[in-house]
Chains A and B, each alone.
Chain A
Amino acid sequence: MKTPVISVKNLVKKFGSFVANDHLTFDVYRGEIFGFLGANGAGKTTAMRILCGLSAPTSGELMVGGYDVYSQTEQIKRNIGYMSQKFSLYEDMTIAENIRFYGGIYGLSVKERKAKEEVLLSKLSLQGERDKLIASLPLGWKQKLAFSVALLHDPQIIFLDEPTGGVDPITRRQFWDFIYEASADGKTIFVTTHYMDEAEYCDRVSIMVDGRIAALDTPEKLKKQFEAADMNEVFLKLARKAKATE
């Protein structure tokens, strides 16, 4: 029996009279790559903030990594990693400084942090580069490093919010190699993207439309269900309907 690492039952989030999340129900399993798609304004960011312990739901039962999103937000934050294209590493600090900084934020002891730093640098073959500024690194390295830093405290779950936006096509694909690697290590990956080819790489994909989950399944089954050639077509079919009501 698969155990859910994220369990969401009837999540509702309202801002005044506006319902941003309207009874979302889904589970995400250990080691799964879970694609969280939706049109702009569909309620993805709201739901993601709740799952990261940054915002409280209006109602519903939610567990993230075994912790309750109402009462155990600090434990949740310590057990998840987060990375986005917009927010990752500090450009004007060196590689080593960034690792130290995030190690501190995640509450690693000096000893743990030093050990992690060595492992991380040797894994990425960056031992010789530790004193280089992030700003001076090629994009591919930055991405790889940002991802590794988000995993520094050994989180069970990693949230990736449009991690590949604006990234060149080769680096974008290398990034998905890291995602697969982490998933093979048992990490659960929760990822948003606007690149529909990337939706094909997920184990399961949910598509949000107007605050609800309009579809959730493996890419293969979604394509069958919506009689679509690829995920782009699935997305267009679902999201286009919603447009009429905007």
Chain B
Amino acid sequence: MIKVESISKSYQATKALNRISFEVTQGELFGLIGPDGAGKTSLMRILMTLLVPDEGKASMSGLDVVRDYKQIRQLVGYMPGRFSLYQDLSVEENLEFFATVFGITIAENYELIKDIYVQIEPFKKRLAGKLSGGMKQKLALSCALIHKPEILVLDEPTTGVDAVSRKEFWEMLKKLQQQGITILVSTPYMDEASLCDRVALMQKGEVMEIDSPARIVENYTRTLLAARSDNMNRLIQDVRNWDEVESAYAFGQFIHVTPKRNEMEAVELEKFLMTQKHEKLQVNEISPGIEDVFMALMKEKE
């Protein structure tokens, strides 16, 4: 459905995208995972026919993003990163506006947005600018869907959104996917990668890896140990100062430690930390998460 072939884009001296290639198949939920400056927005804008690439080709549903931009706009729905609805129109008027632009009525495709729209319908007379963050998001999604697009593109829909609303938003996306819509979504939250069928891990205009979240994690072959003690501050210092350790990062209540020797076992680290007089020690070997892999790939690139 989406095909990206060696796309590059620069803004003056800054290389925003460097030979990006990937494909998204029909009905897939595909994630672009990476921090600010990874190139996610530039890439999406190119696919949305809002930006012309310097090099490379891309197509949406077989249509070229440069040549066939008019047809593409009919079959894609786009939710940009910044709230882009009309703040001084009401909820209802915004939806009406988007339907009219696409030459349809709300009633025609109401079924598709129903589950989402009913949550904001009690406020349909309210100005969009006066909605809470969560409601704005639901309205923006409704507007992006009202013309029943084949492909839905969402640029960081969950950035700055609290953990509960994020969870709900992903549940909505899953439901849309079940209705056959192909979804391309970007996020800086690494934990959201596991909710996608496949992801591209992006950093500084490059794709570091593309695969299913499960395979990305499986393919990571380095040993990873998790440690905690009653003094986390000192623990991380002590671990970093040990010359057997390549890197150590805080991960919530644990520290994730990558030893230089892949054969190192948890008990070796534990023994070392006991000599440093740590109390309530807990050291285990763990399987990595997407964030661990992302950080390892970042360091490889440097």
| Chain A residues packing against B (C-beta within 8 Å) | 38-42, 139, 162, 165-171, 173, 176, 180, 194-197, 200-201, 219, 230-232, 235-236, 239-240, 243, 246
Contacts and interface: CB of A to CB of B under 8 A. Distances in A.
Contact of B250 (A173, A219, A230): A173
B35 A166 contact: yes
Nearest to A166: B36
Given A139-B37, A180-B233, A239 B164 contact: yes
Contacts of B37: 139
A207 B7 CA distance: 44
A168 to B, nearest CB: 4
A146 to B, nearest CB: 14
Nearest to A240: B164
Q: What range describes how many residues of B lie at the interface?
A: 20 to 34
Contacts of B250: 173, 176, 197, 201
Interface stretch (B88-96, B213-221, B294-302): B294-302
B164 A194 contact: no
B162, B190, B232, B295: residue with the most chain A Cβ atoms closer than 10 Å: B162
B160 A194 contact: yes
25 contacts: A40-B132, A40-B133, A40-B165, A41-B132, A41-B133, A139-B36, A165-B159, A165-B160, A167-B35, A168-B36, A168-B203, A170-B295, A170-B299, A171-B35, A196-B163, A196-B252, A197-B250, A200-B253, A201-B232, A219-B253, A230-B252, A232-B163, A236-B163, A243-B168, A246-B132
Q: Which 6 A-B pairs have the closest CB atoms?
A: A168-B35, A197-B252, A166-B36, A40-B133, A39-B162, A239-B164
A40 B162 contact: yes
Given A40-B162, A173-B249, A235-B164, 18 more contacts: A39-B162, A39-B164, A166-B36, A168-B36, A169-B294, A169-B298, A170-B298, A194-B161, A194-B162, A194-B166, A195-B189, A196-B163, A197-B250, A200-B253, A240-B164, A243-B164, A243-B168, A246-B134
B291 interface: yes
B175 interface: no
A246 B167 CA distance: 16
Contacts of B291: 169
Contacts, number: 85
B141 to A, nearest CB: 16
Contact of B163 (A41, A194, A201): A194
Interface of B: 34-37, 132-134, 156, 159-168, 188-190, 203, 232-233, 249-253, 291, 294-295, 298-299
Given A139-B35, A166-B35, A194-B163, A41 B134 contact: yes
A200 B164 contact: no
A41 B133 CA distance: 7
A44 to B, nearest CB: 10
A219 B228 CA distance: 14
A166 B233 CA distance: 25
B246 to A, nearest CB: 13
Contacts of B36: 139, 166-168
Contacts of B166: 194
Nearest to A201: B250
A168 B249 contact: no
Given A168-B203, A169-B190, A230 B163 contact: no
B233 to A, nearest CB: 6
Contacts of B162: 38-40, 42, 194, 235, 239
A246 B164 CA distance: 13
A139 B188 CA distance: 14
Given A39-B165, A173-B250, A166 B294 contact: no
Nearest to A220: B253
A96 B119 CA distance: 50
Nearest to A199: B252
A116 B253 CA distance: 35
B129 to A, nearest CB: 15
Contact of B252 (A167, A194, A231, A240): A231
Given A169-B291, A173-B250, A239 B163 contact: yes
Nearest to B250: A173
Contacts of B188: 165-167
